[in-house]
Structure formats: C-alpha cells, structure tokens
Amino acid sequence: MGQLMSVGNQRHQGVTLIELLVCVALVAVLASLAMPSVVTYIKQDRVDSNIHQLNSVYQYARSEAVKREQSVRLVKQNSQWLVNTLVDGEEKTLRTFTIGHESIQVELVDREIRSTGEINQVSNILVSDNDNSTLDYRLCILRSGQSWIGEAAENCV
C-alpha cells in the first residue's frame, strides 16, 4: 500500500487516490449499515424518555398531595399534563409534563390525587410512536396511587 516517491534525494511515502477512494467507500458502506439501528435507537429513546418523564410527573403530583395534605389535580391541556393545586384559594400549576416530540402520542387523562395519595380513578396511559420497530409503554396507576411502567402489549390490570 502506498507508493514511494522521490523528490531530490528524499523519499516520501504517500497514499494514492485509488487507496483513498477505497477507504472512503468502506466507511460509507459501514455507515449505511449502522444507520438503521441508530435511527431505531433514537426513536426508542424518545418513547423511553417520555414514559419516564410522565411517571416522574405523576410521582411528583402524588408526593405533593401527601406533603400538602390536599388534593392535587392532573389536568390534560392540549399536549400537556398540568399538576395543579390550590394555593391561597387560587389554582396554581406546580409542574408540567409536555410531550417531548411530535412523533410521540400520549393518552393523557384528567385525574385527581387525594391527600392520602390515592387517585380518583384507575389510569392506563399509553405512550406510543406508532412505529413497529420500537417498544411502546403504559403508565399504570391503581386507585391506591401505586404506579408502574409496563409494555403496551400488557394490560395494567
């Protein structure tokens, strides 16, 4: 590989254009083989981060209800889930869950968390990107307030 070139009394080793093109072609082929798995990884990461953020917001709302000893409402507003409570007689938003990417759909619902940490109704919230190459999830919440994340194919109860 490489040709010896002489310039005056010095000898230099260089790379030919053909060798350079072969290397570039190999890199291009390897990149094209890796690209689909990278795209799938990015899509899956979007779903994962949304379900974990959603669960985090729910856990925050539940802890605030218990800590404040008053009900906290989870309010669906467009593509957001607002954690609302009464502060000095006015409704205040404590935290917001916003869907992280336009490809993600979340079946948000209005719920109320009592001061005991219990919720007014069982919840089964699907987080999906409608892509068969990724795994979708559900946030399952029992009336007792306990929650867990499960695969979408499995029902909560």
- In our burial notation (b when 16+ CB lie closer than 10 A, e otherwise), range 113-122 reads bbeeebbeee
Torsion angle in degrees (nearest 10) through CA of 92, 96, 102, 108:
-80
Mean pLDDT by 10 residues, the chain (157 residues): 57 82 87 80 95 96 96 94 92 94 94 96 94 94 95 84
Q: What is the pTM of this model?
A: 0.78
